[in-house]
Amino acid sequence: MERSLIDSIAAALPAGGSRVVRGVGDDAAVVRSGGALCVTSVDAMVEDVHFRLSGEHSSSPREVGWRALAGALSDLAAMGARAGEAYIALGVSAAVGEKRALELVRGALEVAAETGTVLAGGDVVSAPVLTVCVTVVGWAEEEAELVGRDGARAGDLVGVTGLLGGRPRRPIPRLREGRALAQTGASAMIDISDGLAVDARHLGEGSGVRLEVELEKLPLDEGVPDCEQAATAGEDYELCVCVAHADRARAEDALRAVGGAQITWIGRVLSGSPGVSLRRGGREQLLRGFEHRW
Amino acid sequence: MERSLIDSIAAALPAGGSRVVRGVGDDAAVVRSGGALCVTSVDAMVEDVHFRLSGEHSSSPREVGWRALAGALSDLAAMGARAGEAYIALGVSAAVGEKRALELVRGALEVAAETGTVLAGGDVVSAPVLTVCVTVVGWAEEEAELVGRDGARAGDLVGVTGLLGGRPRRPIPRLREGRALAQTGASAMIDISDGLAVDARHLGEGSGVRLEVELEKLPLDEGVPDCEQAATAGEDYELCVCVAHADRARAEDALRAVGGAQITWIGRVLSGSPGVSLRRGGREQLLRGFEHRW
């Protein structure tokens, strides 16, 4: 349902004001303000849709808060923005109660401290299930510091930060890495929230190019048995980035300079129908995914 | 529940960064960025908590979208900020479906067009009931243009814009009025979302003063039988403002100059225990309310 609803919403929008540099369709919106650029992203998570508080694969409230803020900050990382402020709207059910809702906020505050983000406001309402809506605002000095999904060119290398498939319970958004990559000429970048396969496709579609990814090259996290799982697990919050061949060494150096995660080169950018080709042992594999961000 | 949870959250927050001019506790957060000030507010609305889609007192999805964005923009109006961008996170239930969710967005877009706000992004997720989380970002050039809840002084007049108690289905946020009042020296301002009685109390508490309101002076909307209803109805989205005696004429002129709503002077600011005194026929009345914004 969500994808077509988002398309309908995008179609209903009037043309953006001149202040809006990037609107619907990227990891975050970019708005010009005074001498700075304001980069904003909104992420909602709903109990029993995005997480469970009991039973199999359940998360603690603290982990939910951590992941909610980390996921939103990951969108800023993918733009190359500096983290700024966060705003959290909490829907709290009677079953969850005040104590666990506060634990959720404490989890978010841990990520905030880790990333230099200030929790500056929010809202608390009653709701039938625990609902978290996080808005994050990041900053940049000028447009050239930022990178979207739309600049990949045929011939670029495709890279990914860190390790995939591990579904970390307390992921660290790759803000340093995103900023370093954006500033050393990355042509396009996206964070991996729905799995590399899906997010690389979005990047390809956003840039009008085809990303060819060699699944065997994926950097697997500990305990991940298979590159297909690494390509589809989601919630890695690593970055998938396109870099011109000529900028490869600069990008690697920049990541080292900031003490960032390592980058692994997993494929290349081709012209051809926009999207992604996943290849394994020389043959193309088709994986299906979903997405609902706009 | 919510009030004590908000207090616990506020207590858990580390001291704000130097960029945060106003954080938790006002209508909106204010953050310095480049040469501008970024004013941000978040409002969440949940089906069967804040609105119903069927039965008595039900709202259409379009009205829900209108009120969600208008309510958030009203917080910016109360600060004296210019409207900028809006971000909407929608939780959509199967029962509500895509078509009605899109109607909700269309309602929000009507308010956006009316106020010069650009809908710049958002998120769509599944949820057990229709849930709307609106983040609005407004702008100001300098701090002196903005007004909080904390500047009312003994001797000020207390005024209110427009008419109270009507619970309009399509309220217009008082952005022009808020800006005009802030720029002509209003000492404190708040928007009326929970009813004048409650919001005037918040203003008094925020400023450490006592607002004395004469209920008989309240400007009643058509069909409102009684000033008590006008004081408690909520969702007026009018502004309650404190203005020094010497600035009264300037404030009235400024509202006329922008073609804004009329202001009615309903009381005065006293020193004494922080809060509100509601007076009717010479005696004090006690009304109880609630609030859940932080």
Residues A29-81 pLDDT 10s = 999 887 889 999 999 999 999 999 999 989 999 999 999 999 999 999 999 99
Q: How confident is the model at residue B16 (pLDDT cuts 50, 70, 90)?
A: low
> Which of B41, B46, B123 shows the shortest C-beta gap to A293?
B123
Q: Nearest CA to CA, how far is A245 from chain B (Å)?
A: 33
CB contact under 8 A, B14 and A139: no
What gap in Å lies between CA B15 and CA B140, rounded to an integer? Answer: 24
CB contact under 8 A, B133 and A14: no
State residue B228's pLDDT score.
87
Residues from chain B contacting residue A49 (CB–CB below 8 Å): 125-127
What gap in Å lies between CA A28 and CA B31, rounded to an integer? Answer: 19
Q: Name which of B124, B193, B171, B153 is nearest B274 in CA terms.
A: B153
Q: Nearest CA to CA, how far is B83 from chain A (Å)?
A: 12
pLDDT at A287 over 80: no
Q: How confident is the model at residue B286 (pLDDT cuts 50, 70, 90)?
A: low
pLDDT > 90: percent of chain B = 75
Distance from chain centroid for Cα B191: 3
What's the pTM? 0.92
Neighbouring-strand partners of residue A91? A125, A131
For residue B5, the SS3 value is helix
- For B174, other C-beta atoms within 10 Å of its C-beta total 29
State residue A71's pLDDT score.
95
Fold of B19-140: 60s Ribosomal Protein L30; Chain: A; (3.30.1330)
CB contact under 8 A, A12 and B109: yes
pLDDT at B292 over 90: no
Interfacial B residues in 107-146 facing A (CB < 8 Å): 109, 113, 116, 118-129, 131, 133, 135, 137, 139, 141
CB contact under 8 A, B128 and A46: yes
> Which of B19, B33, B125 shows the shortest C-beta gap to A49?
B125
Pick the CATH number of A18-140 from 3.30.565.10, 3.30.1330.10, 3.90.1170.50, 3.40.50.300: 3.30.1330.10
State residue A19's pLDDT score.
78
CB contact under 8 A, A91 and B44: yes
- For A32, other C-beta atoms within 10 Å of its C-beta total 17
Q: With an 8 Å Cβ cutoff, is A92 touching chain B? A: yes
**Spatial contact of A104 and A130, defined as CB atoms under 8 Å apart:** yes
The residue extents of the domains of chain B are 19-140, 147-285
Place of tokens 């961008």: B85
Task: State the count of interchain CB pairs (< 8 A) between A and B.
Answer: 243
**Spatial contact of B42 and B138, defined as CB atoms under 8 Å apart:** no
Q: With an 8 Å Cβ cutoff, is B7 touching chain A? A: no
**Spatial contact of A54 and A218, defined as CB atoms under 8 Å apart:** no
CB contact under 8 A, B46 and A125: yes
Q: With an 8 Å Cβ cutoff, is B87 touching chain A? A: yes
**Spatial contact of B73 and B25, defined as CB atoms under 8 Å apart:** no
Longest pairwise C-alpha distance within chain B: 57
Place of tokens 């060119």: A153
Q: Nearest CA to CA, how far is B2 from chain A (Å)?
A: 6
Residue A82 makes CB contacts below 8 A (sequence gap 6+) with A76, A138, A139, A140, A175, A179
State residue A290's pLDDT score.
36
Question: Residue-wise over A163-185: b if at least 16 C-beta within 10 A, else e?
Answer: bbbbbbeebbbbbbbbbbbbbbb
Q: With an 8 Å Cβ cutoff, is A91 touching chain B? A: yes
Q: Encoding tokens for residue A200?
A: 């690389």
DSSP state of B234: -
What gap in Å lies between CA B86 and CA B108, rounded to an integer? Answer: 9
Q: How confident is the model at residue B62 (pLDDT cuts 50, 70, 90)?
A: very high
CB contact under 8 A, A48 and B128: yes
CB contact under 8 A, A98 and B4: yes
Q: Which residue of B has its CA nearest to A113?
A: B14
What gap in Å lies between CA A20 and CA B113, rounded to an integer? Answer: 15
What gap in Å lies between CA B69 and CA B293, rounded to an integer? Answer: 15
Q: With an 8 Å Cβ cutoff, is B23 touching chain A? A: yes
Q: With an 8 Å Cβ cutoff, is B258 touching chain A? A: no
Pick the CATH number of A147-285 from 3.30.540.10, 3.90.650.10, 3.10.129.10, 3.40.50.300: 3.90.650.10
**Spatial contact of B240 and B189, defined as CB atoms under 8 Å apart:** yes
CB contact under 8 A, A36 and B36: yes
Q: Which residue of B has its CA nearest to A19?
A: B84
Residues from chain A contacting residue B107 (CB–CB below 8 Å): none
CB contact under 8 A, B34 and A34: yes
Phi (first) and psi of residue B255, to 5 degrees:
-65, -40
Strands A210-214 and A188-191: unpaired
CB contact under 8 A, A8 and B98: yes
State residue A289's pLDDT score.
44
Sign of the torsion formed by the C-alpha atoms of B228, B232, B235 and B240: positive
What gap in Å lies between CA A39 and CA A248, rounded to an integer? Answer: 26
Sign of the torsion formed by the C-alpha atoms of B4, B9, B12 and B16: negative
State the DSSP H helix or E strand holding residue B63, giving kind and residue range, or none if neither: helix B61-79
Residues from chain B contacting residue A32 (CB–CB below 8 Å): none
Q: Which residue of B has its CA nearest to A109?
A: B13
State residue B13's pLDDT score.
84
Q: How confident is the model at residue A18 (pLDDT cuts 50, 70, 90)?
A: low
CB contact under 8 A, A2 and B84: no
Q: Which residue of A has its CA nearest to B103?
A: A9
**Spatial contact of B139 and B84, defined as CB atoms under 8 Å apart:** yes
Q: What is the 3-state secondary structure (H, E, C) of chain A?
A: CHHHHHHHHHHHCCCCCCCEEECECECCEEEEECCEEEEEEEEEEEECCCECCCCCCCCCHHHHHHHHHHHHHHHHHHHCCEEEEEEEEEEECCCCHHHHHHHHHHHHHHHHHHHCCEEEEEEEEECCCCEEEEEEEEEECCHHHCCCCCCCCCCCEEEEECCECCCCCCCCCCHHHHHHHHHCCCCEEEECCCCHHHHHHHHHHHHCCEEEEEHHHCCECCCCCCHHHHHHCCCCCCEEEEECHHHHHHHHHHHHHCCCCCEEEEEEEECCCCEEEEEECCEEECCCCCCCEC
CB contact under 8 A, B98 and A1: yes
State the DSSP H helix or E strand holding residue B283, giving kind and residue range, or none if neither: strand B283-285
CB contact under 8 A, B40 and A135: yes
Phi (first) and psi of residue B164, to 5 degrees:
-110, 155
ipTM metric? 0.91
Phi (first) and psi of residue B270, to 5 degrees:
-115, 155
Phi (first) and psi of residue B113, to 5 degrees:
-65, -40
Q: Nearest CA to CA, how far is B95 from chain A (Å)?
A: 12
pLDDT at A236 over 80: yes
Q: Which residue of B has its CA nearest to A90?
A: B44
pLDDT at B53 over 90: yes
Q: With an 8 Å Cβ cutoff, is A257 touching chain B? A: no
> Which of B50, B124, B135 shows the shortest C-beta gap to A135?
B135
- For B151, other C-beta atoms within 10 Å of its C-beta total 17
Residue B128 makes CB contacts below 8 A (sequence gap 6+) with A46, A48, A128, A129, B93
Q: How confident is the model at residue A293 (pLDDT cuts 50, 70, 90)?
A: very low
Strands A29-33 and A36-46: antiparallel
State residue B101's pLDDT score.
95
Residue A230 makes CB contacts below 8 A (sequence gap 6+) with A164, A165, A196, A215, A218, A219, A220, A221, A224
Give the residue-averaged pLDDT of A238-243: 98
Q: Name which of A207, A210, A226 is nearest A218 in CA terms.
A: A226
Q: Nearest CA to CA, how far is B58 from chain A (Å)?
A: 18
